[in-house]
Each structure stands twice: as C-alpha cells, then as structure tokens.
Amino acid sequence: MGAKRQKLVLIGNGMAGVNTLEHILKLSPEQYDITVFGSEPHPNYNRIMLSYVLEGSKTMDDIILNSWFWYEEHRITLHTGTTITAIDTQQKIVTADNGLTAAYDRLIMATGSNPIILPVPGHQKQGVVGFRDIADCSVMLEAAKQYRNAAVIGGGLLGLEAAKGLLNLGMNVTVIHLMADLMERQLDPSASAMLKAELERQGLHFLMEKQTAEIYGGERVEGLTFSDGTKLESDFIVMAAGIRPNTALASASGIEVKRGIVVDDYMQTSADGVYAVGECAEHRGVCYGLVAPLFEQGAVLAKQLCGVQTKPYEGTQLSTKLKISGVDVFSTGVFLDQPELTVIRKQDDWKQQYKKLLLKDDTIVGGVLYGDVSDSSRIQQWVREGTAMTEAIYAELMGAGGTVLSAADRVAQMADDEIVCGCNGVSKGSIIKAIKDNSLTSVDEVKACTGAGRSCGGCVPTVSHLLQYVLGDEYAGQKTKTGICGCTDLSRDEIVAAIKEKHLTTVKEVMHVLQWHNPEGCSKCRPAVNYYLGMLWPQEHEDEKDSRFVNERMNANIQKDGTYTVVPRMYGGVTTPEDLKKIADVAVKYDVKMVKVTGGQRLDLIGVAKEDLPLVWEELDMPSGYAYAKALRTVKTCVGQQFCRFGTQDSIGMGIRLEKTFERIDMPAKFKMAVNGCPRNCAESCTKDIGIVGNDGGWEMFVGGNGGIKPRIAELLCKVKTDEELVQMVGAFTQYYRLTANYLERTSEWVERIGIEAIKAEVVDNMDRRRELYQDILAVLAELKEPWSTALEEQRESSYLFDAIQMK
C-alpha cells in the first residue's frame, strides 16, 4: 500500500482556488484527498464571462470551467451551496453552515471578494444589487423584463460590463462615476475619453464626477440623489463601485488580516497549515483583483504544497488586456503622464486607435493601447524586461517610415518564453510545442490542450496568429468547432463510423487511434465514447466506470451537501407494504434527511452518506430506480381500466411490462415513459420521451416530449392494436434513438433534428427494419447481467465503496 494521503480542504470554489488544485493534480495527483466547499450551487465557472451571460451571448453551461464530472474524475469531494463558518486552527477542522465538518492537514482559503455596497441611505431597498456572481446576473435578467430605467454606480471594468449587458437587454442605462475618467485605474485620460465616446455611441449615458448621496423611493428604489442636489430617476440600481477581500472567516478564526488575509511569498498565512490565494489574499501589502496574478499565486502555492522547489511569489507586474463592450483596451506598468517621463503617443480618431509608450531614462516602463491591442504582448515583455527604447521599436510600434509589421511577423519576433496568455501563464513556446506535438489546427484545440484563451479570451487573436505562423497556408483561420468537444475535430457520426471500421473496443484505444488532441479526453468526450462503444459492441465492450458521470458510478444522485439520494425501482409506480417497510426501516437506520414522492411515482431517500450507500442498497434489496443514469428512469402510469371508470386499457400492467423490459439499458440521455389508460392523460404522456395513450381500439404512441428546461409536446408516431405490437414499436423506436442520437441528446431534440416523418419511415413504415431494430435491442438486453435484482452488485464493483461493507 502507498503512503496515506493527506487531507487538503479548499474553501472557495472559484477560479483561483480550483486553478491551484489543477496544478496540484498535475504535480502530485496521489498526494491529497481533496474536499472543496463552495457557497454557490455551481461547479467552478469563469467569472470573467458573467457579462456575456448577462447580455445573453453565453449560458451558464458555456462558462463552466470544471464540470461536475471533473471533480468526481479526480476524486474530489465537492460541497456546493455550503459556506464554511468556522476554522479551528488548533484541531485543524472546518465547520460549515449546515453543520458539516471536515478535518484538514492543509487548508487553502480562496474566499475571493465581495462587491462594495455603498452605505448610502436607501441602499437596502428592493432593486439595488451588486454584480459579482451568477445569482446577480439572474436578478438583473429578471429586472430587465419588468423595468425600464437602470443606473450603474461605478465606471470601472465591472460597471461598464454590467451597463452594456443591461443595455443589450433593452434597458435605458446611465453610468454614474465619481471620477472624471472611466477606468481611471487602467487607462489614461485620452484612452478613457475615446472609450466613453464609443460607449455613448452604443447608447449608454454617463454622469461623471457625481457622488451618490441617497437612494430614494418606497420599498423599491425610485431614483438617486447626488451630493450636488441633482437627481436621477431609476427603478433598478447596480452597485459596481469596487470589491473588498472577503476576510471575515479568517478574521473570526484568528488568522492575521489587514486589508486582505496576510500571506508570505509562499502564500502561507499566520496559521499553521493554512494558505490563502486569490482576491482574498494580501501579499506584500497588495491585494490583486485581476486573474493573472491569482493564477501566478496558485502555481507557486501548488508547488509549495507538493514539495516541488519553486521561486517565491514576488508580486505581479499588473497589466490589463480586456474587451469592454466590443472595444479592446490594454495597459501595463505606468500609464499616466508624469514630468520625469518621456511619452510617445499616436492617436487615430478615424480608425479609433490609440498607442502610447512611457519611458524613464529611455527605458520602457509602461504603455496603453486602445482599439488595436495586437502589440500588447510585446509591450508587456518590454516593460517586464526593462527594454531600452530604440529606433527599430519606434518604427515598428508607430509605423514610422512605412514600417508596419504583419501579425505573423509580430509573433515571429516574440521570444519563446514570452507569455501569450497572462491569465493561465502560457508562453509562446508552450503553444508552438503543443501545436506541433499534437497536430493542433484551431484555436479551440489550442485552448483545450494548453489552457491559453480559456479565461478572459484576450489572447485568442495572438493564438490564432501563432497557428498561422506554425501552419502557414494550411491554417484556415479559427474554424467552427465540429467535434464533440475540444479534444477532437471528429463529429459523433465520424467517431461511430471509425469505431465500426477499425473495430475499436476501449475508450483509450479510440482516443489513441483517432488521434485525440488531449490524449486523456475530458468530461464531455469520455462518457460519450464509452456509450458509443457499449452501443456498438454490447458483447465485447466492458463498461468503463471511470468514464461514467459521478451519479452513475455511485448509483445515486449527489446532492449539493455531498450526500446522495437513493431511488429504488417501483415498477409503474406500484409498490407493496413489504417494500414500503424496507424503505422506512432503512430511512430510520441511516438517518435519511427526507423521504419524498417523486414526479415519477417513486420514493427518494435523500441525504444518504457516501460510505453508507452499499449498506443501504444491501438492506433495501430492491432494484435500482436508475434515477442517476442515462437510461430508462421511470414509466409513469395512471390506474387505468383496473380501477378507473374512464379507463379503456390496462395502463398499470403495460407500464410495468415496459419498465421491466427496457430497464438497465444505456441510452444517449435520460429517458422517461408514461402510459395512460384513456385520453384524459393523467400520467402526462404528452411530455415524455415515449407517451402511450390507451383507447377502445388499442394504443397511441407519442414521442419526443419534454417537460424540462425546453418544454415540448410529444408528437404522434403511430397507432397499434395489440400489446405485442406496442412493445415491439417501443423497442424499435428506442433502438433507433440509441443508434443515431448524439450523446446527451434528449429525444425532444433528436426528433426535431431527425424529423418525425424520417423516424416513421424507419420505425413504422418499414416492417423489416422495425423487426431488425427490435431484435437488436433484445440482444443488447440479453447481454445485461442478470438477475440485477439489486444495485448491490454494481456497488461491489467499486472496491473503495465495498470496503465500507467489509469494515462494518
């Protein structure tokens, strides 16, 4: 046996903390048992992209950096929606708001920062919000549906992003700023004036040098009063006046705090074994709010925790390269004119471009760019290295004497160690090596392989130029991604065809033979490939548990507090007194937090501890309800002709038959059925993947319904007269869906993509094809392990879970 793993706890599930974990997992993946606590109900997401969610160009799924699967894949215990309220630095235990505790050997605090809410009278009224997380975005999106006039307090980056997002949502937006210039901490007055003029052209209004004195109104805000006595009517206010390190927990726990949590050059706090990283940390008197320094801190901390020799963190040369409301801006080093500095400046109002270099004793010490930021990497390098100004640099940057470097020439002149992606610390040399070694041909592939462009996206143009530089005429620009994920260019159909042609039988074999750019795959492609292999080779392919989602591996649904929900099978929603007693006994014995009737006519046992899962299943001795699986979840039934005076068919009997026939088989996505004994639709067949309605002449079969995020009414596929015909039709339809759908594509999306007439032609009209599909699915079902009367067998396959039974 190897050395016992140490316990590492991370407080804060944001970008800085999770980026540190990524480094740790690369350096020493077996060293720590990792537990993460996050106050938000989401996995790690890209906070920089919140403005895109607000404006509607991206969804929450688009900005997720580390999916739920990623945490499970790396054996990380994640508690979302859970806030740590106390740290016992002597006993080394953290306690959460829900009473959960966790011991640690090493603790990382990455508690981030809070938006500054100005303590002016009226700041607690309804309609006043900050702009810091996805919940704030949701509030703003709802407000835009109901109200017209919005005010944003703060003309910095965050305020301008919020303002533009609200403008795009149709609101009349006014930005209120205390200073004379927008983004005065990053831009000089000239660049700031150009930015303000462009944003005014786009439709924003500005009140500069205004100090908010009061927010007036009744329960809800109606407007603002300023210190000069003027007023602005507004029914929604966003405060974006800055951020403050979140130090309350550290302070309450006796850890040294000034403006932030005080750390040394290796991110160690005043408490033994406790470290801090990100916006909450104060290093050498400085708290950072930009992404690049937070990731630099994380890289140093990860090496420190893994025992890898590293240079100390000595602070970060700040630079800002951002796209604000469609306008690119950049600054680094000294950006304001000073008497002792020499200033080189070029302003082009026609092309809306501005360039400025600042020199001290002929050494480049700062720069500002507006509009065209293609020279940002070079300027940052010059400032970092203290480069002396030369005629050649002047000619290149200012275009003197007709010398204007092409983008390819610019990247050719970059040093290999020059940082391209400041957010993730990716150099030109690293990107070029990845392109050559992995035959990368698109920005998305470079992003997946190296991380460059993964955060703010400001380096994407340079990455594109590097691809052009390496590939030459073979580079066709930033291609639209057609692959199932960034690890491969291959589509679902191409992968399935290659698996058939080359007779590939394992996930690793597929990724190796088909030349995945990321040889380990990711949380999107690994489960998909595992499904395709099982679908094509049911007799040969051995299911790869490591490529399953966390819920499927655990045979239970993980909850935000880290416990699990167990759902036993109840065929057709029917149970017995004996089974009810088993459920009650188990719920009492294992301190189940709640027993809930589900929408699928079953009972949830909510709040089962991870280590109790094998024992719970063993004592239930009931089939799993597969509430976690990409498989048949439920067959909902009404009471039908057995009991209902309107019933014309035995809906309960048919529901149980279908559920027992098609349970256990893998599907592209979760799959639900319903059977009604008459057209009154009490079992809600119209919103199921397959909905069956009985009538005097037989059965009607509807397909492609969905009652979830994208509701869809099912479409009529066919009418059949006998029970046997119905079962065959259900089997044929299900198999056709299994063979042709994309992984995670619900039947509602699949029916729209394929078309109901095309499905009818394949499943209903062509009787030979229907029989073939039905025989195929029966063959797959015959290969499934029997009796599978309980879920215990699956649990035992996970040895680390089965150990719990042995120990008990």
Q: Determine if residue 459 is labeled as part of a ligand binding site.
A: no
Q: What is the Cα–Cα distance from 764 to 720, expressed in whole angstroms?
A: 10
> Which ranges of 472-570 does DSSP label H, i.e. alpha helix?
492-502, 507-513, 525-536, 550-554
Q: What is the Cα–Cα distance from 313 to 510, expressed in whole angstroms?
A: 42
Cis peptide before 787 (omega within 30 of 0): yes
- Segment 684-689 long-range contacts (CB within 8 Å, at least 24 positions apart): 684/636, 685/714, 686/713, 686/714, 687/711, 687/712, 687/713, 687/714, 688/636, 688/714, 689/746, 689/747, 689/748
* Selection from 654, 657, 690, 686 nearest residue 672 by Cα: 690
750 SS3 class: helix
Q: What is the Cα–Cα distance from 620 to 295, expressed in whole angstroms?
A: 47
* Selection from 803, 787, 786 nearest residue 795 by Cα: 803
Q: What is the Cα–Cα distance from 214 to 231, expressed in whole angstroms?
A: 9
CB 82 within 8 A of CB 100: yes
CB 450 within 8 A of CB 481: no
Q: Determine if residue 682 is labeled as part of a ligand binding site.
A: yes
Which helix (H) or strand (E) segment holds residue 195: the answer is helix 189-202
Q: Determine if residue 287 is labeled as part of a ligand binding site.
A: no
CB-count burial class (<10 Å; 0-12, 13-18, 19+) for 567: buried
* Selection from 575, 618, 612, 626 nearest residue 597 by Cα: 575
* Selection from 534, 524, 535, 529 nearest residue 514 by Cα: 529
* Selection from 349, 356, 318, 277 nearest residue 111 by Cα: 277
Q: Determine if residue 421 is labeled as part of a ligand binding site.
A: no
- CA angle (629, 632, 637) in 5-degree steps: 135
Known binding residues for [4Fe-4S] cluster are 638, 644, 678, 682
Known binding residues for siroheme are 682
Known binding residues are 638, 644, 678, 682
